[in-house]
Amino acid sequence: MEKTIQVHPHDVRDAGAAVVVSNIVERAGIRTIIAETGTLEERHPYPQGELEHNPVHKVFYTDACFEIPDSEGWFSRLPFRPRLSPQAYAGEDYVQELIVAAKERGAEVLPWVKALNAAFEGDVKAACVNTFSGEPITTWLCPNNPLTEVYVKSLIINMLERYPSRAILVDRLRYPDWSGATVSLERMLTCFCPHCVERMEKSGIDLKILSKLLEEFSKEPLLLEGWLEEKEKASVLQAWFHFRNESITRLAQKIWNEVQIWRDKQGVSPAYWLNLWPPSFAPLLGQDYANLDQLCEGTKHFPYHRLGGGADLGAFVQALAGDDPISQEKVFADLTNLLKLGTISFAEYKQKGLPVSFVTEQTKWGKDRFGENKIFTGIQIWDIPETEIEDTIEAALQGGADGLFFYCYGWATLKALDAVGEFLRGME
Ligand SMILES: [Zn+2]
Q: Do residues 242 and 287 touch, judged by C-beta distance below 8 A?
A: no
CA of 116 to the centre of ligand 1 (A): 12
CA of 237 to the centre of ligand 1 (A): 17
Residue 234, pLDDT score: 85
DSSP assignment string, 320-334: HHTT-HHHHHHHHHH
pLDDT tens readout for residues 347-385: 888 888 888 999 999 999 999 999 899 999 999 999 999
Q: Do residues 170 and 275 touch, judged by C-beta distance below 8 A?
A: yes
CA of 132 to the centre of ligand 1 (A): 10
Mean model confidence pLDDT for the chain: 93
In percent, the amount of the chain with pLDDT more than 90 equals 76
For residue 317, name the pLDDT band (cuts at 50, 70, 90): confident
CA of 176 to the centre of ligand 1 (A): 12
CA of 395 to the centre of ligand 1 (A): 38
Q: Give every CB contact of residue 271 below 8 A, 6+ residues apart in sequence.
A: 166, 167, 168, 297, 298
For residue 311, name the pLDDT band (cuts at 50, 70, 90): low
Is the model's pLDDT at 12 over the cut of 90? yes
- Return phi, psi of residue 405, to 5°: -110, 105
Domain 2-427 indexed as CATH 3.20.20.80: yes
pLDDT tens readout for residues 57-76: 999 999 999 999 999 999 99
CA of 63 to the centre of ligand 1 (A): 23
Mean pLDDT of 311-324: 80
Is the model's pLDDT at 1 over the cut of 80? yes
Residue 98, pLDDT score: 98
User: How far is Cα 304 from Cα 219, in angstroms, rounded to an integer?
Assistant: 29
Distances (CA, A) of 147 to 76, 124, 214, 254, 407: 12, 10, 27, 13, 32
Nearest to 358 by CA among 378, 375, 373, 372: 378
Q: Give strand ranges (E) for 104-212.
A: 108-114, 120-122, 128-130, 136-141, 167-171
pLDDT tens readout for residues 196-242: 999 999 999 999 999 998 888 887 776 777 777 788 888 898 999 99
pLDDT tens readout for residues 154-196: 999 999 999 999 999 999 999 998 776 667 778 889 999 999 9
CA of 371 to the centre of ligand 1 (A): 30
CA of 136 to the centre of ligand 1 (A): 10
Is the model's pLDDT at 309 over the cut of 90? no
CA of 142 to the centre of ligand 1 (A): 5
Q: Do residues 116 and 173 touch, judged by C-beta distance below 8 A?
A: yes
Mean pLDDT of 89-114: 98
- Count how many Cα atoms sit within 13 Å of the Cα of residue 220 in the half-sphere of its side chain: 7
Is the model's pLDDT at 339 over the cut of 90? no
Instruction: Give the DSSP letter of residue 66.
Output: B
Mean pLDDT of 9-22: 98
CA of 126 to the centre of ligand 1 (A): 10
3-state class (DSSP) for residue 136:
strand
CA of 130 to the centre of ligand 1 (A): 6
CA of 314 to the centre of ligand 1 (A): 28
CA of 191 to the centre of ligand 1 (A): 5
